[in-house]
Structure 1
């Protein structure tokens, strides 16, 4: 067996997205040779940039005869394949949904090479030397409930040039009977779970992502996030991301004993469960947060690095949820403010009052920006689909900050009514004489979106969105 000694650790892209061929340093002398077969720190560093795929199992395949050929199998997990001794010919075919479906890559592997095979890419190996053994790390345990995809070794479309003709090699009867490419059911993308599907943001996410078998929209009645059985409620390894659009948002009711319990359950206990599942299964967790994590005393816009300082119970639970989500390796905390979408909200209330001839009193000492759920949903799609660094982002409408009083007058104006009908009052005046508990509100809810714009997350202009919203209300 000839081994290429002394190569530097490096990675080579292939024509199949995510399929990465690696050169491994092998050190040899009269006693034999040694190599670092898998070295997480080096291989996930920027020079190689292999995905940190979190292997959980190591398998070894030994083939004593030249020509032993394994079928083209695409599994629902990532795989890192290398040779321990001998030499193999490898053939990989992209069997995932998408533009690269059917793309083929082939290469010979010896102990100085390895390959990273992403989920859904079919892989097959033909033994070129006697007593060959190759090893592969996988990031999931085998399951009979998992989804697999197969391709016939002799498929004419793939047209793989096997070094040893298939008529002369050892192949299992099962592998001979796999379908041709035209009959292959592509491997679907990993699933996305959207919680809070019936809320304002949940409905916007349904509009943004559409209806697909790989997107699951769920409500509290369908999936209890506080259930002790949540860890086994799904085969979580089949999911790639969780978008947490569920939350307890009744800020005043949260100040009551019953509301406090519900707020902590929904905004903290449930979030902790999702964070645990995301961490254990390597999922991306997208969590929507709030301006209420700040006390509103800052004279400038709040950045993503400002210390949390919530005033009331609702804000405290959202701040606790933020801290928990940030422990997940792949997390996005999207902080937003003054959310407007499909449902009961401030803008619809003001438009209704204007049309019914009612002149409202509206607080004028709370300042922020409206954020429309369509923009939040679009931001979520970008962080899931694009190469956005994990972290915290402010997702809020752009434009000049305004008070609730200013926005109410603007709604009256855009609705064709006299904005002078709206009277401004302080927060203290507005809630004076209230008989039910009232949550403290941050006076400054302005969030700085500079970092969000810098990474390419799109944000809409608040006033333009308000015009369009009222036109279609």
Structure 2
């Protein structure tokens, strides 16, 4: 199940922030790409519909997910249906169709209490309903389709949807100061960069397994917000606060830094430093 030079790609969840960029990246790489957006186009919880939709494709990228982290706390069954059952349906159908599945997962499968980057084979310990459902989806994909690629990402931002930088720039334009949590650390990742990485992983015919698709380096949300404000040409003061001052229904990982050893071992270049990549992305994202 390795990719031919020109392959038929199916992107599920193509209307989302990441899905839009995956369609663009795969198309730019010369592939024949079909994008399905929304439940009306494909209900991933319907096994028969999924099986029919995947026939004839070489590569299937799953960008669909229940991503409302807080809502998942009170709607775990619904989140599980998309993030776990839907993932399982796609994995089984991809295996039957002879297609390679690329499944996007999350840092929320970890407990967020580490002090060194999480390895790809680190034990899973999700602390939220969202994390539990995504962890179940990973297990389902790996069980049903050993050649599938599970790519964990975190702190995504992009031009094609709502995201942290856009929110910060909007709020900063309206205020003289704003407060942002400084005790959560991660890797802001541009959807354009992740989409490019997914295409490169498939092109390299890497072994099936788990990979981490995040920018290199690390920063707090407060540090990232300061960079966003500067990129927006604003002088708004960004003040640090603790997570305890922003209580949310779902716990957020304090440490979301993911290691990239599996990429390096496979000969695939990880995404560059988050700050340099933000500088490249800022104009496009903030204009979106």
Give your verdict on TM over 0.5: yes
- Tell me, yes or no, if structure 1 residue 308 matches structure 2 residue 119: no
Residue 49 of structure 2 is matched in structure 1 by 230
Residue 170 of structure 1 is matched in structure 2 by none
Unaligned runs of 5+ in 2: none
Instruction: Report the alpha carbon displacement of residue 242 of structure 1 after superposing the two structures with TM.
Output: 1.0
After TM superposition, the score normalised by the length of structure 2 is: 0.90
Matching of residues 27-42 of structure 1 within 5 Å: none
Conserved? CA contact 2:54–2:97, under 8 Å: no
Instruction: Report the alpha carbon displacement of residue 412 of structure 1 after superposing the two structures with TM.
Output: 1.5
Residue 241 of structure 2 is matched in structure 1 by 425
Matching of residues 205-244 of structure 1 within 5 Å: 205-210=22-27, 214-219=32-37, 220-230=39-49, 232-234=51-53, 236=55, 238-244=56-62
The verdict on how the C-alpha distance between 1:429 and 1:453 changes in structure 2, with shifts beyond 3 A counting, is: same
Instruction: Report the alpha carbon displacement of residue 284 of structure 1 after superposing the two structures with TM.
Output: 0.8
Length, aligned pairs only: 279
Would you identify which runs of 4 or more consecutive aligned residues in structure 1 move more than 4 Å?
none
The verdict on how the C-alpha distance between 1:273 and 1:413 changes in structure 2, with shifts beyond 3 A counting, is: same
- Tell me, yes or no, if structure 1 residue 455 matches structure 2 residue 266: yes
Conserved? CA contact 1:283–1:330, under 8 Å: no
Conserved? CA contact 2:7–2:58, under 8 Å: yes
- Tell me, yes or no, if structure 1 residue 390 matches structure 2 residue 208: yes
Hey, what's the Cα distance between the residues in 2 that align with 1:228 and 1:392? 24
Residue 412 of structure 1 is matched in structure 2 by 229
Taking only aligned residues, the RMSD between alpha carbons, in angstroms, comes to 2.1
After superposition, give the CA deviation of every residue in 1:34-69 in whole Å (9 maximum; x if it has no partner).
xxxxxxxxxxxxxxxxx89xxxxxxxxxxxxxxxxx
Conserved? CA contact 1:361–1:430, under 8 Å: no
**Higher helix fraction: Structure 1 or Structure 2?**
2
- Tell me, yes or no, if structure 1 residue 465 matches structure 2 residue 284: no
Conserved? CA contact 1:362–1:425, under 8 Å: yes
Hey, what's the Cα distance between the residues in 1 that align with 2:42 and 2:127? 30
Higher RCO, 1 vs 2 (CA within 8 Å, ≥6 residues apart): 2
Unaligned runs of 5+ in 1: 1-50, 53-95, 99-188, 432-436
Residue 15 of structure 2 is matched in structure 1 by 198
Give the secondary structure class of the aligned counterpart of 2:119: coil
Hey, what's the Cα distance between the residues in 1 that align with 2:231 and 2:109? 32
* Higher CA-based Rg: 1
Match of 1:344 among 162, 172, 175: 162
Match of 2:147 among 330, 334, 342: 330
Give the secondary structure class of the aligned counterpart of 1:233: helix
